[in-house]
Amino acid sequence: MNANARMEQIVGLCKRRGFLFQSSDIYGGIQGFWDYGPLGVELKRNVREAWWRDMITLHDELGIPAGAPQSFSMVGVESSIIMHPQVWKVSGHYDLFHDFMVDCRECKARFRADHVKSSECPIKPSKHPGEHDKCQLTAPREFNLMFKTIAGALSGEEGTVFLRPETAQGMFVNFKNVCDSSRVKVPFGIAQIGKSFRNEITPRNFTFRSREFEQMEMEFFCHPSESRAWYEYWRDRRYNWYLTHGIKSDNLILRDHTQEELAHYSVGTADVEYAFPFLDAGEYGELEGIAHRGDFDLRSHMEGKLVRQNNELVVEKGEGDAPKYRGSGKDLSYFDDQSRERFIPHVIEPAAGADRATLAFLCEAFHEDEQPDEKGAMQKRTVLKLHPRLAPIKAAIFPLIKKEGMPETAAAIYRDLKSAGIACIYDQQAAIGRRYRRQDEIGTPYCLTIDGDTATDQCVTLRDRDSLEQVRVPIKDIVDEISRRLRA
């Protein structure tokens, strides 16, 4: 199966089974916006919870850099989507957060300048924009990616605010609040999951490039002398998180940015990238960036917008030698009680996309094979081999037939699993083989069948989605057995 056909099947499955829908679908949709259906919202929630579990709940159960403190705090915040406009001026987004776009005077289409060679000409899709004899492309020009809106009754510049293009700034501006209220000590991290908005010129590739998306970001504040070791620690740990949750190493790379790619604030950056099916062979798309941001962010919010000159960050000057955009003037330095040292912490930032991660897990999980049906004939099977912790439904409970007490026993098992917090589903419609295939297609890792022997031996048949192994499990042990498998 070629990559395009595979991607089309994944997109079709997502709509057919209720993972993802085009936003405002009944009106023809709106480009760059997506709705998660019943199964999709559970899958994405599980991705978020797996990230939070690793970053916050179990953060100190893994090895940390040699010589660094043997424990550190990780806390969460939830900052507002709309922030003071000065935040985006000081951070550089107001001036620098743009892409270059070109228009075609003939067809009126608009393209990102760096995507022209990979886009389709609306008049002749077999050609790229600019290759058709009727194409009239304009010169590239800047396009700011932030969404503007108005807060309150004021109009014009006085009331102009922006939907946040990233969640990171909400953690930087709350650095002092967290230090003062939580008694955390450097090193420590602040994490956040939330929506961000970027007015992409040409959103494309399903949910990979959207105008509304969800980020999972963490800002780790550490001593400047330890920042390089912490950067390497978080870079490697975040790469391994994707492997742990089912991405094969053949499809995943950890790519360090070249010096030319680095942002003006960055001391070092690495991207975790995945071989999405919509990309050409050998190409990868970014899942997560891990950046060593130095002291850029806290200094910016203290002093004003910073620019790099002669390899140093200095406050950009405006009229009369005053800062172009003033910072808050608040002291965001940190005082270490033990060393009696005051310093501005360096920041390591792992920034992941919840939507891109969800899409990657879906693409990785999609498989087709052939399995025998009830009569032994080979039948095509579509299966999502999602990691059990990510699967929307963990177990499906089937009474083999709708009599002889089987539905009652199945219903009791269903209630026990639900009471234990295990997402499960009860299904008694159609032949058992068809029920298995329905669950395979939505990624359910375990099916429990109550059959004619259950009343005698008080056991049910547990079927594994991937291995197709079937074993008998006592009814009294089902909750513990499913829980154990989910922890593995």
The string of pLDDT tens digits covering residues 237-285 is 999 999 999 999 999 999 999 888 887 778 899 999 999 999 988 899 9
Residue 227 pLDDT: 94
Helix (H, G, I), strand (E, B) or coil at 477: helix
Give the β-pairing of 98-103 and 141-144. Answer: antiparallel
| Closest among 356, 266, 352, 273 to 313, alpha carbons compared | 266
Q: Which CATH superfamily is domain 393-487 in?
A: Anticodon-binding domain (3.40.50.800)
Residue 62 pLDDT: 55
Given CA atoms 410, 415, 421, 425 in this order, what sign does their dihedral have? positive
pLDDT of 143 higher than 90: no
Q: What confidence tier does 126 reach under pLDDT thresholds 50, 70, 90?
A: confident
DSSP label at residue 177: H
Residue 67 pLDDT: 60
| Closest among 187, 169, 150, 151 to 60, alpha carbons compared | 187
pLDDT of 375 higher than 80: no
Give, in degrees to the nearest 5, the angle at Cα 171 between 312 and 252.
80
| Closest among 210, 174, 180, 211 to 192, alpha carbons compared | 174
What's the pLDDT tens digit per position in 32-83? 999 999 999 999 999 999 999 999 988 764 556 666 666 789 999 999 999 9
Are the C-beta atoms of residues 144 and 201 closer than 8 Å to each other?
no
Residue 1 pLDDT: 61
Its CATH architecture, for the domain 3-83+159-361, is 2-Layer Sandwich (3.30)
What's the pLDDT tens digit per position in 213-242? 999 999 999 999 999 999 999 999 999 999
Identify which has the larger pLDDT, 485 or 68: 485
The Cα–Cα gap between 165 and 143 comes to 14
Does this model's pTM top 0.85? yes
Give the β-pairing of 424-426 and 395-399. Answer: parallel
- Segment 360-365 shows an average pLDDT of 98
For the chain, the domains span 3-83+159-361, 393-487
What's the pLDDT tens digit per position in 412-422? 999 999 999 99
Residue 463 pLDDT: 97
Tokens 């490697």 appear where? 236
**% of the chain with per-residue pLDDT over 90:** 72
Residues 6 or more apart whose CB falls under 8 angstroms from that of 386 comprise: 43, 246, 361, 362, 365, 443, 445
